[in-house]
Amino acid sequence: MKQEDRKSKFGITREFAMINWWVTWVAIIIMAGYNILTTKYLKEEFMQALAIMKKESNGVIMLDKLGRPLTAKKAPMDITSESFKKVVLNNIQSYFIWDWTSLTDNYKNKILNVNDLERFNPKFKEFKENFIKKDDKKAQRDFLSFEKYIVFLIQNDKMPEMISVNSSKVTSYHTDKDTFDAKIAFVLVANIYNTQSGEYENRRGSMSVEVEGEFDSTRGTIINPLGLKYSTIKSSLLTKD
What is the pLDDT at residue 28? Answer: 60
pTM: 0.70
Helix (H, G, I), strand (E, B) or coil at 107: coil
Which of 122, 147, 136, 124 lies closest to 213, judged by CA? 136
Helix (H, G, I), strand (E, B) or coil at 198: coil
Q: Confidence class of residue 1 from pLDDT cuts 50, 70 and 90? A: very low
pLDDT one-digit tens code per residue, 55-99: 555 555 555 555 555 555 656 667 788 888 999 999 999 999 999
Q: Confidence class of residue 200 from pLDDT cuts 50, 70 and 90? A: confident
The amino acid at residue 102 is S
What is the pLDDT at residue 79? Answer: 78
What's the rounded Cα separation, in Å, for the pair 184 and 168? 7
What's the rounded Cα separation, in Å, for the pair 241 and 239? 5
What is the pLDDT at residue 6? Answer: 47
